[in-house]
Amino acid sequence: MKILSIGDIHGSTQWKDIINLKLDQDLTIFVGDYVDHWTYSNDQICNNLIDLIEFKKHNLNKVILLLGNHDLQYLFSFESFGCSGYRPEMYFGLHKIFNDNKDLFQVAYQYKNYLWTHAGISDGWRKIFHSEITADNLNEEFNTSGIYSCIYDVGKRRGGPNIIGGIFWADFRETYCQYVEGLHQIVGHTKIDKIENNGDENGSIRFIDVLENKNLDIRDKYHLLKIE
């Protein structure tokens, strides 16, 4: 199984350049945060999201779209999930796009002992949430608990009231050394200079939010994983 992972887009069209490299992947996973940017126009952000959704529709079984914290504030409301970069003038349009296509999005994907979420799972949060973390129970929690689910927890390191962050808000400092044993995680959410991995064969976490780093070649802006 060859899996291509692409970090936070935030309106950037560079994901198309990566797809055009023809990497012969079996599956492409986007880790969320498709909207909000400090300089891109409203039209670019909106049209890019529509293009990504169309890409998913034409490749239903080969593309995974995960949700990020920036997407939640339009899927639901800014009052419930407000974060930086919010554009109130885009709320109604993006709210409709996300909700009209909500069945195309999910919060986690797992293949064997590899797990993709937007911000990652720290061992501390795992102990609060559930002893056995799987993509199935994360997606079920999201779909059944609504906005009251603990997966939305914002920890103190991100300015929130909770002890530690959930899968949309976990901070790099919470997950880097407290990754979950037995899982190999691939996450975005925290901008870094280059793709970085911490851990070993018993457990690890890989951070891939590098799409906006102008100093990187396009071939250094994605993660291609081969799993036997």
Each residue of 183-211: pLDDT tens digit?
999 999 999 999 999 999 999 999 999 99
| DSSP SS3 for 29 | strand
Which position has the higher pLDDT, 79 or 197?
A: 197
CA dihedral 114, 171, 71, 196 (to 10 degrees): -50
pLDDT bracket for residue 128 (50, 70, 90)? confident
| Unique residue bearing structure tokens 């901008």 | 191
199 bridge partner residues: 204
Q: How many domains does the chain have?
A: 1
Weakest-pLDDT range from 29-38, 86-95, 113-122, 123-132: 123-132
- Most confident among 55-69, 74-88, 167-181 (mean pLDDT): 55-69
The whole-number average pLDDT for the span 12-19 is: 97
Please give the pLDDT value at position 217: 96
Q: What is the CATH number of the domain that holds 162?
A: 3.60.21.10
Is the torsion defined by CA of 170, 176, 143, 64 positive or negative? Answer: positive
The residue among 8, 11, 39 whose CA lies nearest residue 189 is 8
pTM of the full structure: 0.96
The mean pLDDT of the chain is: 93
Please give the pLDDT value at position 131: 65
Around Cβ 168, how many Cβ atoms within 10 Å?
28
Please give the pLDDT value at position 145: 78
Domain range for 171 is 2-226
Weakest-pLDDT range from 6-15, 135-144, 146-155, 212-221: 146-155
Query: How many whole angstroms separate alpha carbon 58 and alpha carbon 184?
Result: 29
Which position has the higher pLDDT, 25 or 143?
A: 25
pLDDT bracket for residue 149 (50, 70, 90)? confident
Regarding beta strands 203-207 and 184-187, do their DSSP bridges make them parallel or antiparallel, or are they unpaired? parallel
Please give the pLDDT value at position 130: 65
Query: How many whole angstroms separate alpha carbon 40 and alpha carbon 224?
Result: 27
